[in-house]
Amino acid sequence: MKIVILDAYAINPGDLAWDALDKFGEVAVYDRTAPDEVVERCKGAEIVLSNKVPLDADTIASLPDCKYIGVLATGFNLIDLDAATRNGIVVCNIPSYSTDSVAQNTFALLLALTNHAEDYDRRIHTEDRWTKCKDFCYLDYPLVELAGKSIGIVGYGHIGRMVGSIARTFGMRVMVYSSRPQQELPEVVKVDMDTLFKESDVISLHCPLTPETTKMINAEKISLMKPTAVILNTARGGLIEEDALAEALNSGRIAGAGLDVLSTEPPLPSNPLLRAKNCILTPHISWAAYEARKRLIEIAVANVEAFVAGSPINRVN
């Protein structure tokens, strides 16, 4: 059996291993694969593993030997599921591997906005700000307590629930926008979208990118927010209308944003959020703690093992 990994580097830049797949057959590992290289590299492969390399209908039709596509991520929007199903291909994803990692980075972004530790550190090291201070401390940046503030969580799956749990530990009031009925959410307050935007001090996005959620954060929704509110996105960049958010940040309409994802990655130099005020960016790394990447590979191997045994798990088509 031939197994091909199309884009292995982001998951394993050298600190982990793919050896556990060797027992299933010949494994070809590519750090990165361009779209025009997919068909040639997957020729004869029964199992194809991809993180961010798209597999559209034409590509899938060109892989007659393929029986299994393993998505090396939770989101599977880059795979044409209908085409895979028509061609008798099983598609499986990796659910819940990064819950703790993403929730942790969500609060890293939030604390960067509220505590400015990096800003203080930079001025101490590069400007001798503390050694030149007339007092034992100084307050160049405002500090904000999270206790007593409201956080609005859009999407209340595994990650959303973990973010809510951490928020409650900080003493925050948790509101959620979710399709789940209130009786299934005893620990939080379920609200409609407009109420969430009007009342939240922090808005945190944890929903999938679908046609319905694309650019759901737009000028209209931002206009409902408090001027002191901040928005966090560790889900998908396409959830936000980026020009509208940049305008809101630059005009002071809202206080800040912490973003781990953008609509195009790597971003184009023209992306307005690269230069927006009070906008903290990380390069789509919320999922990427060592422990989370190790879990991802372990689950990917378990998925392949279950498929080979005839009982696929984590199937999405």
User: Active-site residues: which are they?
Assistant: 236, 265, 284
All residues at 6 or more sequence positions from 309 whose CB lies less than 8 Å from its CB, including other chains: none
Sheet holding 202-205, edge to edge: 189-190, 173-177, 150-154, 202-205, 230-233, 256-259, 279-281
CB distance 165 to 156 below 8 Å: no
All residues at 6 or more sequence positions from 293 whose CB lies less than 8 Å from its CB, including other chains: 11, 12, 16, 287
Q: Torsion angle of alpha carbons 242, 75, 194, 146, nearest 10°?
A: -80
Nearest one of 173, 158, 9, 141 to 98, comparing CA atoms? 158
Strand duo 279-281 + 256-259: pairing:
parallel
CB distance 151 to 201 below 8 Å: yes
